[in-house]
A and B are shown apart, each in its own frame.
Chain A
């Protein structure tokens, strides 16, 4: 306590010292066996000591810019001090003290004056909610909300529905169709956003590996329905706090599959069926699909039962589709109807069942385990590589693109892409940032805000708290944004 920027409580006289050689009468003296505690409150910049669990009251304390370090001064050789930084319960009831401050901060937030001028506040809140719903394309919810609150929606219904459709495609992993639809509905958008297009294509490649993109899925015997499944909440809203960047990267540069990898793969896959390594000789892909078929069929049938009461026609429809998948040729003709079907079903699944994802997990195979699909994927990979080179020529090197491409291609280097260092990409959650980017681009092209105000406010609040923490404003630790998101 004698030195500058130091504070102390002395046992011999019970005085407290605040960066000065002369102390102030503060508390009782203390000696061997006493438990002395110190609490620095960064919210109101106060400090108090405790003796044997009893708070001795505030002592002189100056808010300091520099960090504080706990120090114990000893006088005679052989003295022993036990330090407790919380590894054992404190004698003083610090939890209770923190409870009080948490309650204080929260009531400050609760009672913060909003200066409401005749419903302005409410109108603003309604606008926040409405714009959020519209942004993410919750069309009917937004309409219902607007009707109840007597507000208007800026964007046209059809526009919202279009966006909704595209987003659903992306989230279902059918990026190719999403690109197609975007080009149809918003001509020129992707041409003007080569970066976005590249991102989408990369994602499409990943989805091909996943076996979900329509371009490979048509080869697969898997029912489209099980592909549609999207884990977790159907909400499109971004997850907070989780960064989506890939941390894992491997040195594998080669975009092509090596045979060695494929043979490993074969050991893991069901021996009964032709594996990728052997598939070079056989082009009849009907048999490998059957196992997946039976598996997905069981998934399907349970679901059909669930749906049967509401839509019989649909059930039969999907059965027909599955029949059709035995004939690789019929795919192209069917594809357009399947898009519609898929979208439609996707909606259904969102509403009723989210568990199907787990069913499809254990039997994952590259491109759905289909040879033709794999070839298509490899071809697509080449096209992607070419696109990358083209972009590089036109706009110069782009490390982000390079990384994206590398990560996507790296998937092929592993026998089980889902359980590899870059396997995270295959997680359907990774569709979200792509989806959000596409959605924002569409909105921007329509001269609408690319971020909903609610997300902006949320982002600002989080950033504000981060800033507070950096400059040492203690109250931020009792005001987490998460506490207010239920």
Chain B
């Protein structure tokens, strides 16, 4: 019967009334189950309906649009079907002026089919902003609401759209002002929440300053209210996620949010679903709670992560919230990837606190579930988890020991071989932290685990961060005299080669400085010194950097020299002689008259 209906619908000869009725019936069918929609899609209903939009009859157009709307908002319909023909979008834009129904349906279609930057750009380039802006002041609530939703998806993480929106005005009023009006507390919750999302996107894109009163005194408090117990579970999820996004990078907003309406305590309620009451009394309620429980938890973790991103006091407040660490630990082992990811992000944010690393992180043995998360996790989790591990491996962290014992070296070494850049950085970073003031055994374990080939691989990595952290690792490995001598005795040749290579290569100042520092460390060794003294090439390079225009590099080179000529050591006289022969003393004389006090001291 569907194909018959479609046939009649497409028949130009059928009367408009009949074709309209067909579209209405098809629309009703689409309202049914997902299978209904699937079978309609299989019959190529979308091209047929899009064709119908070219009719001159408004009633028929509206019926087609209503049906299209119903199909496109179904989760089984691929959004891309809207974008297969670019004339469709421009025709829809043109139809926006026809009636309040075309406005409502088209805006609804756009807001459901706009997924990702590509779609945003297409709609934007077809003039979506100008065509939809005036609908925000429509007399019909439905039209206003759908237009608002359009803007919230168009502007989401899209600086181009966001920057355009701030300057658009309708009836002499700028869009941000219109959004602020829609934020008023007597407006429907859906409207408040959606306009808060628009303003959030605009703020994150830099279109609105973070200290603008419409953010600080309107958007932020509105989003906090959305997290309150009085709101529906869906609204609380969306509110918390949006707020997390809004405050993610701004300390001041984080501070304001943290004191607004007891937000930190309010979020603790997100973990109380399904509540024990609902389980017994009401099956329906339990089902509802269960469905949203994961979403609620991950939203709360995300918001905690944002709140605690920068401010030590806020972190403390979060951790002091009832059972917080237990909740995070539990979250780390949840089946839902979304929750695990959010929990790791939260943990990562909190792990920036030295005090917490030493106390609550230790008390709750956070490293255990974290190590577990690191096994076979998807990359997005690995990135955050390994980054957290970096913090846990800091020298002062009491978790360092047990983490090492649980096979972290191997895991981290494998991360350094990842295709994913962030993982490589985090892997080598964690190793660097691990090697800092570590025992000889750990250092050799790291070297063994990493293998010299991999080390050189990393030193020639295209990413500066990886290179820097690798050099950092080398520097940490090459500290304290016995360690230096030991490592240089086994890997001296390769290391000297690598150092030469980097000093000769095209690298930025920081990299060179780090490399010179490694040389300085080597020069501090007892036997390792000789590797430098016997390498004229290296000595020439040190000499060169002593008269480099950059003070930092001069300083680092000076370190090498002073380590080499240190008086109390055996053979210092010979080394001094050799260096004097090279003309280094002259440079030293020059430097001692230099303007920089640091250099003079040396």
Chain A residues near B (Cβ < 8 Å)? 27-28, 48, 51, 53-58, 93, 96-97, 99-100, 102-103
Q: Is there an interface contact between B185 and A96, defined as CB atoms closer than 8 Å?
A: yes
A479 to B260, CA, bound (A): 30
Q: Is there an interface contact between B260 and A54, defined as CB atoms closer than 8 Å?
A: yes
Which residues of A lie under 8 Å from residue B449 when comparing CB positions?
A: none
B570 interface residue per 8 A CB criterion? no
Q: Is there an interface contact between A55 and B261, defined as CB atoms closer than 8 Å?
A: yes
Q: Is there an interface contact between B186 and A55, defined as CB atoms closer than 8 Å?
A: no
Interface residues of chain A: helix, strand, loop or mixed (majority) = mixed
Which residues of A lie under 8 Å from residue B218 when comparing CB positions?
A: 93
Q: Mark B151-185, 1 if CB is under 8 A from A, else 0.
A: 00000000000000000000000000000000011
Q: Of A56, A96, A100, which is within 8 A of B260 by CB?
A: A56
A107 to B540, CA, bound (A): 85
Q: Is there an interface contact between A56 and B259, defined as CB atoms closer than 8 Å?
A: yes
A145 to B217, CA, bound (A): 53
A97 to B217, CA, bound (A): 12
B262 interface residue per 8 A CB criterion? yes
A27, A54, A58, A102 pick with most chain B CB within 10 angstroms? A54
Q: Is there an interface contact between A55 and B217, defined as CB atoms closer than 8 Å?
A: no
Given A53-B217, A54-B256, A93-B217, verify A102-B261 contact (CB < 8 Å): no
Q: Of B185, B216, B217, B261, which is within 8 A of A56 by CB?
A: B261
B482 interface residue per 8 A CB criterion? no
**Given A54-B260, A58-B262, 6 more pairs with CB closer than 8 A:** A53-B217, A56-B259, A56-B262, A100-B186, A102-B186, A103-B185
A-facing residues in B325-367 (Cβ within 8 Å): none
Q: Is there an interface contact between A99 and B259, defined as CB atoms closer than 8 Å?
A: no
B398 interface residue per 8 A CB criterion? no
Q: Mark B232-271, 1 if CB is under 8 A from A, else 0.
A: 0000000000000000000000001001111000100000
Q: Is there an interface contact between A96 and B261, defined as CB atoms closer than 8 Å?
A: no
Which residues of A lie under 8 Å from residue B262 when comparing CB positions?
A: 56-58
A-B contact pairs, 30 of them (CB 8 A): A27-B259, A28-B259, A48-B261, A51-B259, A53-B216, A53-B217, A54-B217, A54-B221, A54-B256, A54-B260, A55-B260, A55-B261, A56-B259, A56-B260, A56-B261, A57-B260, A57-B261, A57-B262, A57-B266, A58-B262, A96-B184, A96-B185, A97-B185, A99-B184, A99-B185, A99-B186, A100-B185, A100-B186, A102-B186, A103-B186
Q: How far is the CB of A24 from chain B (nearest CB, A)?
A: 11
Interface residues of chain B: helix, strand, loop or mixed (majority) = helix
Q: Mark B195-228, 1 if CB is under 8 A from A, else 0.
A: 0000000000000000000001110010000000
Which residues of B lie under 8 Å from residue A27 when comparing CB positions?
A: 259
Q: Interface size on B (CB < 8 Å)?
A: 13
Q: Is there an interface contact between A55 and B221, defined as CB atoms closer than 8 Å?
A: yes
Which residues of B lie under 8 Å from residue A100 when comparing CB positions?
A: 185-186
Q: How far is the CB of A97 from chain B (nearest CB, A)?
A: 7
Q: Is there an interface contact between A54 and B184, defined as CB atoms closer than 8 Å?
A: no
Which residues of B lie under 8 Å from residue A99 when comparing CB positions?
A: 184-186
Q: How far is the CB of B565 from chain A (nearest CB, A)?
A: 56
Which residues of A lie under 8 Å from residue B185 when comparing CB positions?
A: 96-97, 99-100, 103
A54 to B256, CA, bound (A): 7
A56 to B217, CA, bound (A): 13
Q: How far is the CB of B177 from chain A (nearest CB, A)?
A: 15
A-facing residues in B280-312 (Cβ within 8 Å): none
Give the residue name and chain of the A residue nearest to B213 (CB).
A53
Q: How far is the CB of B29 from chain A (nearest CB, A)?
A: 34
Q: How far is the CB of A11 from chain B (nearest CB, A)?
A: 14
Q: How far is the CB of A16 from chain B (nearest CB, A)?
A: 11
Which residues of A lie under 8 Å from residue B221 when comparing CB positions?
A: 54-55, 93
Q: How far is the CB of B303 from chain A (nearest CB, A)?
A: 16
A96 to B180, CA, bound (A): 11
Which residues of A lie under 8 Å from residue B184 when comparing CB positions?
A: 96, 99
A55 to B184, CA, bound (A): 15
A102 to B186, CA, bound (A): 8
A56 to B259, CA, bound (A): 6
Which residues of B lie under 8 Å from residue A57 when comparing CB positions?
A: 260-262, 266
A48 to B224, CA, bound (A): 15
Q: How far is the CB of A182 from chain B (nearest CB, A)?
A: 52
Which residues of A lie under 8 Å from residue B216 when comparing CB positions?
A: 53
Give the top 9 A-B pairs by smallest Cβ distance, nearest first: A100-B185, A103-B186, A57-B262, A57-B261, A99-B186, A28-B259, A96-B185, A54-B260, A99-B185
A97 to B221, CA, bound (A): 11
Q: How far is the CB of B234 from chain A (nearest CB, A)?
A: 20
Which residues of B lie under 8 Å from residue A54 when comparing CB positions?
A: 217, 221, 256, 259-260
A58 to B266, CA, bound (A): 11
Give the residue name and chain of the B residue nearest to A51 (CB).
B259
Q: How far is the CB of B219 from chain A (nearest CB, A)?
A: 12
Which residues of B lie under 8 Å from residue A103 when comparing CB positions?
A: 185-186
A102 to B184, CA, bound (A): 12
Which residues of A lie under 8 Å from residue B259 when comparing CB positions?
A: 27-28, 51, 54, 56
Give the residue name and chain of the B residue nearest to A103 (CB).
B186
Give the residue name and chain of the B residue nearest to A54 (CB).
B260
Q: How far is the CB of B324 from chain A (nearest CB, A)?
A: 15
A102 to B216, CA, bound (A): 24
A356 to B217, CA, bound (A): 55
A130 to B252, CA, bound (A): 63
Q: How far is the CB of A18 from chain B (nearest CB, A)?
A: 16
A51 to B255, CA, bound (A): 12
